[in-house]
Amino acid sequence: MSVSDMFAALQGALGQDQDIREEIRKVVQALEQTAREILTLLQGVHQGPGFQHIPKKCQKAREHFSTVRTQMESLKTKFPSDQYYRFHEHWRFVLQRLVFLAAFVVYLESETLVTREAVAEILGIEADRERGFHLDIEDYLSGVLTLASELARLAVNSVTAGDYSRPLRISTFINELDSGFRLLNLKNDSLRKRYDGLKYDVKKIEEVVYDLSIRGLNKEATVGAGGEK
């Protein structure tokens, strides 16, 4: 084969790769738009009246996740199934955002931490790497760390809305989350930096709880803790 033939073949391969990346980008843009719609919907819980409509907002968010599952099915067809990590960077950030959104919905519904397997089911992908397009562990953990930051904000806004028991429950949850992360040997630099930010979320929530205690509102919160969430 001549040099010109060799480079012509290389150009063909490059063109094919660029076409794949462009198709992936189109689907990722659609996923990002859906993620923005879900986020906009859930941001309403931070407003005073929003606490009264949490179940409805979660229900609507889950309806949006049906669109996410359809978009994920499309994404799976845009690249060879054995080249997940070759193109992973294209959807990594939106996937982490979707993990956060799914985790936030589950927390608002049950005040529990969603499992990686449950998130994968919500998104319409696999939890097991061997089964194809899957939810990478580090993407799951990154989404959970974003949840922690969102809950720190929710703790502050709960006090503003007059819900004094919620910050106490959030504090318990975040401390359990922090204890869980301490069990991990995080070697990923990006994930490690994200985890380092968790201590600030813990501190922010502790300050909220302390303020409630100083103002004597923690007693009221404890009395009302057995009521409806």
* Token pair 């007059």 in the structure block, residue: 162
| Domains of the chain, residue spans | 1-135, 137-221
Helix, strand, coil distribution of the chain in percent, nearest 5: 80, 0, 20
126 annotated ligand binder: no
Mean pLDDT of the chain: 90
CATH of domain 1-135: 1.20.58.190
Alpha-carbon Rg for the chain, nearest whole angstrom, is 21
What pLDDT, on the 0 to 100 scale, is given for residue 220? 58
Residue 65 has pLDDT above 90, yes or no: yes
pLDDT of 229 higher than 50: no
pLDDT at 10 over 80: no
Q: Name the maximum alpha-carbon separation found in the chain.
A: 84
The encoded tokens of residue 92 equal 């990594």
Q: What is the value of pTM for the model shown?
A: 0.88
Q: Name which of 217, 115, 96 is nearest 167 in CA terms.
A: 217
- Separation between Cα atoms, residue 166 and residue 105, nearest integer Å: 16
- Which whole-number Å values give the CA distances from 67 to 57, 60, 116, 178, in the listed order? 16, 12, 20, 32
- Given this model, what pLDDT does residue 227 score? 46
Q: Which pLDDT tens digit goes with each residue over 13-28?
A: 667 788 899 999 999 9
pLDDT in tens, 108-138: 999 999 999 999 999 999 999 888 899 999 9
pLDDT tens digits, residue range 82-99? 899 999 999 999 999 999
Residue showing tokens 């813990």: 202
**Fold type of domain 137-221:** Methane Monooxygenase Hydroxylase; Chain G, domain 1 (1.20.58)
Tell me the C-alpha distance between 181 and 136, whole Å. 16
Q: Hey, do 1-135 and 137-221 end up sharing a CATH topology, with the first three levels equal? A: yes
pLDDT tops 80 at residue 51: no
Q: Where are the alpha helices (DSSP H) in 77-115?
A: 84-110
For residues 74 and 17, the model is more confident at 74
Give the span between the Cα atoms of 27 and 33, in whole angstroms: 10
Average pLDDT over residues 42-65: 90
Percent of the chain past pLDDT 70, that is, above it, reads: 92
3-state secondary structure of 218: helix
Statement: residue 228 has pLDDT above 50: no
Confidence of residue 221 (pLDDT cuts 50, 70, 90): low
